[in-house]
Amino acid sequence: MTQSSFARSWVTSANGHSDFTLQNLPLGVFSHKGSAPRSGVAIGEHIFDLEAALAAGLFEGEAKAAVEASLGGTLNAFFALGRSARVALRQRLQELLSEGSTLRGKIEAQGARLLPLACECEMHLPAKIGDYTDFYVGIEHAKNVGKLFRPDNPLLPNYKYVPIGYHGRASTIRPSGVEVRRPKGQTLPAGQTEPSFGPCARLDYELELGIWVGQGNDMGSAIPVSEAGEHIAGFCLLNDWSARDIQAWEYQPLGPFLSKSFITSISPWVVTAEALEPFRRAQPARPEGDPQPLAYLLDAHDQASGALDIELEVLLLTESMRERNLPAHRLGLSNSLNMYWTAAQLVAHHSVNGCQLQAGDLFGSGTLSGPQRSQLGSLLEITEGGKHPIELPGGEIRRFLEDGDEIILRARCAREGFASIGFGECRGKVVAAR
């Protein structure tokens, strides 16, 4: 157990906080009462304003350089500095914010600010996202979806050799809280021979983990899997909103397009790779008979500690539930250990052909369903394509999402002997098509 495993903060709301303890210290970009976007760190119910702390002279050396790289409303330059800068900043922040810190008086005297997280601050995307790739590494989800579309051959043979992914649309990624406008598109209604155009009728969510790229690579130069973990800056929650009826019509032969590109929601806080160190696990053993990864994807250290133990939860709050003051209803509770490939393997595979990754690029893991019905990460799976609707508290039923429905994603890490940490929420409320 590290010295700071149960260290407390003089920011009292951080002690026992569900997400933003002293052991977490995730970074994000925020505005305060209409200010220009600026970098900050979540601590309890507050944001520690990094720009104000820098002006107060609270950083020096590598930690100072890290904060300077975070200025300007994006964290791209900070991500590009790599692990050493993240560690230096993390250590300094723990010195500043720990209970009994001799620096507390200096923080308060020199105007470094703690700002209320909930009521006065607006969160933004933490980085300018140059490229977004969505993977498909939740094997239970892949099998479930495959059964719906290919009952005789649910999992195609390349799945266990290749981390499957597609290039998504970076321009429509939005932070938690931005409304989800129901998309329009072409669909082929059951029994029809020609498509029709109109609002999506089978709107769905997908419970995913987001992976932020740190240091990139030169074009033409692959990142070895043994070094790929060093190129990951941190993680967030990601909801890959999906128009299932549009998707069913368009996905052959080149895969998702308009069914996915209308919006992707992410949680705004970047939980660093360092904060997640206590929650690393061995990659779950592959079932007997499954092939071992090819050599460029196989590293002993990554197999021994490349998986992450993150509990993932998805909840639904309907308009009727809101009006009746009913709590959000849990739709699924899964875990990132359901990833068939590690995050490092995704980085290695993405770059193996010479593709250039850049600081601030974002990966989605793909839907992380578990093997049990209570662990499913999409309505497509829960309702088996709409065949078996779910009943909600108050008597409502759902096959897919309706206008006014709000999806809430949450994540939490817990391990005996360590303080737990969380990711904050990723929320999105569906509104009618224009």
118 and 171 co-located in one domain: no
User: Which one from 141, 231, 329, 349 is the annotated catalytic residue?
Assistant: 141
Question: What are the 10-residue block averages of pLDDT along the chain, 434 residues in total?
Answer: 72 92 98 95 96 94 98 98 98 96 83 83 97 97 92 90 97 98 96 96 98 98 98 98 96 92 98 98 96 98 98 98 97 98 98 98 98 98 97 96 98 96 98 97
Confidence at residue 3, expressed as pLDDT on a 0 to 100 scale: 43
- With respect to residue 400, please indicate whether it lies within any of the assigned structural domains: yes
119 and 204 co-located in one domain: no
228 and 295 co-located in one domain: yes
Confidence at residue 358, expressed as pLDDT on a 0 to 100 scale: 98
DSSP string, 16-44: T-SS--TTT--EEEEEETTPPPEEEEEET
73 and 141 co-located in one domain: no
Residue pointed to by tokens 């979540």: 42
- With respect to residue 60, please indicate whether it lies within any of the assigned structural domains: yes
Structure tokens at 211: 């992976």
**Rounded CA separation 162/192 (Å):** 35
276 and 392 co-located in one domain: yes
Q: How far are the Cα atoms of 26, 206, 313 from residue 20, in angstroms, in the given order? A: 7, 24, 17
Task: From 109, 100, 97, select the one nearest 47 (Cα to Cα).
Answer: 97
Confidence at residue 112, expressed as pLDDT on a 0 to 100 scale: 75
Tell me the residue range of the domain where 84 lies. 12-123
Contact 241, 204 (CB under 8 A): yes
CA angle 298, 77, 220 (to 5 degrees): 45
Contact 265, 425 (CB under 8 A): no
109 and 149 co-located in one domain: no
- With respect to residue 325, please indicate whether it lies within any of the assigned structural domains: yes
- With respect to residue 4, please indicate whether it lies within any of the assigned structural domains: no
141 labelled catalytic? yes
- Which amino acid is residue 345, in one-letter code? Q
**Rounded CA separation 345/350 (Å):** 8
- With respect to residue 62, please indicate whether it lies within any of the assigned structural domains: yes
Residue pointed to by tokens 């890490």: 413
Final residue belonging to a domain, choices 106, 123, 140: 123
329 and 396 co-located in one domain: yes
CB atoms within 10 A of CB 30: 24
- Which amino acid is residue 10, in one-letter code? W
H or E element at residue 245: helix 244-250
254 and 323 co-located in one domain: yes
Confidence at residue 103, expressed as pLDDT on a 0 to 100 scale: 86
- With respect to residue 398, please indicate whether it lies within any of the assigned structural domains: yes
Contact 303, 282 (CB under 8 A): yes
- With respect to residue 2, please indicate whether it lies within any of the assigned structural domains: no
Taking only the tens place, the pLDDT of each residue in 369-396 is 999 999 999 999 999 999 999 999 989 9
DSSP string, 134-165: EE--BHHHHHHHHHHH-TT--S-GGGGTS--E
Confidence at residue 102, expressed as pLDDT on a 0 to 100 scale: 87
- Which amino acid is residue 254, in one-letter code? L
Pairing outcome for strands 280-281 and 307-308: antiparallel
48 and 162 co-located in one domain: no
51 and 105 co-located in one domain: yes
Confidence at residue 4, expressed as pLDDT on a 0 to 100 scale: 56
- Our count of domains for the chain comes to 2
Instruction: Kindly report the CATH number assigned to the domain that includes residue 392.
Output: 3.90.850.10
Percent of the chain with pLDDT over 90: 90
Residue 134 phi, psi dihedral angles, 5° rounding: -105, 125
Final residue belonging to a domain, choices 79, 99, 123: 123
- With respect to residue 5, please indicate whether it lies within any of the assigned structural domains: no
Instruction: Kindly report the CATH number assigned to the domain that includes residue 75.
Output: 2.30.30.230
Contact 47, 30 (CB under 8 A): yes
> What's the CA dihedral at 292, 305, 424, 120 to 10 degrees?
-120
DSSP string, 89-149: HHHHHHHHHBTT-TTHHHHHHTT--EEETTTSEEEE-SS--S-EEEE--BHHHHHHHHHHH
Confidence at residue 433, expressed as pLDDT on a 0 to 100 scale: 98
392 and 274 co-located in one domain: yes
pTM of the complete model? 0.96
205 and 286 co-located in one domain: yes
Peptide bond into 371 cis (omega under 30): no
- Print burial letters for 362-382: b (CB count within 10 Å at least 16), e (below 16): bbbbbbbbbeeeebbbbbbbb
> What's the CA dihedral at 305, 213, 165, 148 to 10 degrees?
70
**Rounded CA separation 47/118 (Å):** 9
Tally of residues, the chain: 434
